[in-house]
């Protein structure tokens, strides 16, 4: 099975980070010109950190009108914002604390609250930002992929993979014995642009399975990401592309 989307193989993680930062800057400029704002959902984990750092560097910071940028999250761990596990903490240290993004434009998932209540609150926040539509249309969604094929906090065999109506779900992840808050696959799939960032040998076999193997999104949730009316691109390094 060939997944939809364009695969770009780059030399190493630094090149992937630069390419992702370029996509961010270009898509932000286009969205702000077209409709006055740029709504992005950030990925968590470790891979995108360098991209966020680059965006706050001299090379990129002046390419974006930060006052028009609205930052959301694709998922969050159920921890406080200062916890080492927090995706918000990672993005804040790498990006928010270094850039003039208005505080009200940073839309944090409340990881420290009751998961179901936080999911409902976040959905309300998205509904008021993307007012009057049946699905949110992010201008860009950054995604990573775990070595088990998960993306956002859509983990293999978890209930969130079956979600067809809610935009945001509190998802019990048995392997971690914890809830995660995550955008549902349809909420991601209605984005204008979806960009996976995947690097490292540890992801190589799974990436090949996701891209070329039989379609089985319950086991390989990254396969559930198929844009309804938008673009999908994979920025991967040579190590992750070993088996492609
Ligand atoms: C998270 C992420 C998750 C991440 C993958 C890859 O909250 O952990 O949203 O989906 O993108 O687990 O993580 P790495 O980039 O650390 O390999």
Q: Which pLDDT tens digit goes with each residue over 147-156?
A: 999 999 999 9
Residue whose CA is closest, atom 2 of ligand 1? 44
Q: Is the CB of 184 under 6 A from ligand 1?
A: no
pLDDT of 197: 98
**What is the residue-averaged pLDDT of the chain?**
97
Question: pLDDT tens digit string along 119-137?
Answer: 999 999 999 999 999 999 9
From the CB of 46, is ligand 1 less than 6 Å away?
Answer: yes
Q: What pTM, to 2 d.p., does this model score?
A: 0.98
Instruction: For residue 48, give the ligand 1 atom closest to its CA.
Output: 15
Q: Is the CB of 47 under 6 A from ligand 1?
A: yes
Any atom of ligand 1 within 6 Å of the Cβ of 221: no
Model confidence over 72-95: pLDDT tens digits? Answer: 999 999 999 999 999 999 999 999
In this prediction, residue 152 carries a pLDDT of 98
Residue from 50, 145, 183, 220 to probe ligand 1 pocket by mutation (most atoms less than 8 Å from CB):
145
Q: What is the pLDDT of residue 5?
A: 83
Residue nearest atom 15 in ligand 1 by C-alpha distance:
47
**Residues 12/241, Cβ–Cβ less than 8 Å:** no
pLDDT (average), residues 194-204: 98
- Closest ligand 1 atom, residue 77 Cα: 7
Task: Give me the residues paired with residue 40 across strands.
Answer: 71, 140
Question: In the chain, what is the straight-line distance between the N-terminal and C-terminal CA atoms, in Å?
Answer: 13
Q: How far apart are CA 142 and CA 71, in angstroms?
A: 11
Pocket test for ligand 1, best of 42, 81, 115, 146 (most atoms within 8 A of CB): 146
pLDDT band at 142 (very low <50, low <70, confident <90, very high): very high
Please compute, for residue 220, the number of CA atoms within 13 A of its CA located in the half-sphere on the CB side: 17
> CB–CB of 190/136 below 8 Å?
yes
Q: Which of 16, 41, 45, 73 to mutate to test the pocket of ligand 1 (most atoms within 8 A of CB)?
A: 45
How far is C-alpha 17 from the chain's CA centre? 14
Ligand 1 mean position, distance from CA 125 (Å) = 23
């Amino acid at each position: 099975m060939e997944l939809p989307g364009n695969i770009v193989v780059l030399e190493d993680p630094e090149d992937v980070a630069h390419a992702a930062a370029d996509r961010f800057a270009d898509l932000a400029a286009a969205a702000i010109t077209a409709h006055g704002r740029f709504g992005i959902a950030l990925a968590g984990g470790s891979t995108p950190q360098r991209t966020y750092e680059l965006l706050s560097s001299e090379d990129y910071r002046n390419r974006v009108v930060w006052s028009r940028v609205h930052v959301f999250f694709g998922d969050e761990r159920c921890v406080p914002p200062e916890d080492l596990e927090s995706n918000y903490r990672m993005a804040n240290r790498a990006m928010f604390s270094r850039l003039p993004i208005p505080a009200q434009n940073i839309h944090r998932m409340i990881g420290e609250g009751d998961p179901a209540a936080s999911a409902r609150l976040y959905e309300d926040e998205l509904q008021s930002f993307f007012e009057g539509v049946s699905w949110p249309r992010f201008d860009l969604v950054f995604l990573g992929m775990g070595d088990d094929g998960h993306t956002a906090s859509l983990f293999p065999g978890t209930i969130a993979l079956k979600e067809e109506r809610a935009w945001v779900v509190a998802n019990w992840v048995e392997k971690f014995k914890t809830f995660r808050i995550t955008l549902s696959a349809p909420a991601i799939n209605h984005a204008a642009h979806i960009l996976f960032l995947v690097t490292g040998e540890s992801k190589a076999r799974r990436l090949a399975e996701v891209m070329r193997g039989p379609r089985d999104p319950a086991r390989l949730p990254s396969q559930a990401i198929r844009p309804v009316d938008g673009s999908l691109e994979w920025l991967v390094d040579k190590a992750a592309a070993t088996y492609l």
